[in-house]
């Protein structure tokens, strides 16, 4: 995959599905865009309002990453942004008729399949890259996400879960490795968190886990996964956290080159680090 030039879709494609938090169906159309556009969302149900996928529009939402501009929200965009990265798409117009990107099976793999249907063409503009020149770190107590200078993008991530202990994944984050090793990893939640969230959403009508099901979230309790079929990888949980880091990192608007180290990462920590990268 030639990464020297910017790329966009060769043709328009699209898909539809339900959101994890709103539970509502959303139709998504992916269109080619001019060089330098980046990834821009358009809410068709909000008079065509445009919301660029950039850290300056990042919004901290419960259990997902979001964007907001002039009162218009895009919810749960991280998996699609990661899929666009894996497919080598720099510039695209993402049209939606609702606020939340479909969750599918909770991973980025179905989104990669749908995105790849649009093909890919090189554009007459160099791909923009930020090379990290000094260490940057976002921290909250013992939780942190850090990036250091390096010759390629890579990550070393670990997390700790009750009854599971400490788990981790490390490796390069080139597009091919990401698509093969990280994209299939599904979002997850302890059952003791998922059930109260679902109940609260039904009582308050807040968009929190209203669309949560066993076929779109890994649920675990008492040290075991409750989903039929179990895990796709023994370390699927940390792999999904890597997916989230990559999706949030795309809010820099350009490729980032550096070594990421993370412990108990979160969307909030990821976004704070991207803000530091954008200012550096």
Q: Flag whether 142 is marked binding.
A: no
Alpha carbon of 197 to those of 107, 190, 191, 213, 253: distances in Å? 20, 11, 10, 12, 32
Q: Flag whether 244 is marked binding.
A: yes
Q: Which of 69, 68, 65 is nearest to 78 (CA)?
A: 65
**Are 101 and 39 a contacting pair, CB within 8 Å?**
no
Q: Over the Cα atoms of the chain, what is R_g?
A: 18
- Of the candidates 7, 21, 57, 267, the residue annotated as catalytic is 267
Phi, psi (5° rounding) for residue 251?
Answer: -70, -5
* 259-263 vs 154-161, strand pairing mode: parallel
Residue 95 and residue 39: Cα distance in Å, rounded? 11
Alpha carbon of 89 to those of 79, 84, 104, 167: distances in Å? 14, 5, 20, 31
> Is 267 among the residues known to form the active site?
yes
Q: Flag whether 193 is marked binding.
A: no
Annotated binding site for Zn(2+): 79, 240, 244
Annotated binding site: 79, 240, 244
For the annotated catalytic residues, the residue numbers are: 267
């Amino acid at each position: 995959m030639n990464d020297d030039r910017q790329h966009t879709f060769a043709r328009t494609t699209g898909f539809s599905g339900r959101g994890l938090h709103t539970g509502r169906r959303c139709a998504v159309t992916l269109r080619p865009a001019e060089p330098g556009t980046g990834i821009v969302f358009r809410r068709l149900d909000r008079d065509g309002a445009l919301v660029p996928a950039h850290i300056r529009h990042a919004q901290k939402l419960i259990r997902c990453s979001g964007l907001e501009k002039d009162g218009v929200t895009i919810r749960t965009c991280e998996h699609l942004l990661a899929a666009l990265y894996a497919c080598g798409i720099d510039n695209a117009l993402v049209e939606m008729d609702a606020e939340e990107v479909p969750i599918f099976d909770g991973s980025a793999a179905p989104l990669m399949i749908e995105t790849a249907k649009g093909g890919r063409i090189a554009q007459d503009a160099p791909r923009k890259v930020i090379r990290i020149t000094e260490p940057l770190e976002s921290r909250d107590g013992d939780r942190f996400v850090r990036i250091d200078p390096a010759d390629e993008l890579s990550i070393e991530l670990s997390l700790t879960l009750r009854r599971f202990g400490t788990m981790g994944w490390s490796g390069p984050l080139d597009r091919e490795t990401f698509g093969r090793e990280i994209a299939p990893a599904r979002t997850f939640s302890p059952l003791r968190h998922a059930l109260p969230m679902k109940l609260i959403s039904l009582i308050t009508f807040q968009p929190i886990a209203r669309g949560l099901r066993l076929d779109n979230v890994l649920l675990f309790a008492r040290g075991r996964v409750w989903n039929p079929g179990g895990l796709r990888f023994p370390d699927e949980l940390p792999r999904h956290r890597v997916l989230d880091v990559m999706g949030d990192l795309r809010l820099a608007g350009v490729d980032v080159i550096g070594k990421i180290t993370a412990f108990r990462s979160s969307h909030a920590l990821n976004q704070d680090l991207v803000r530091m990268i954008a200012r550096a």
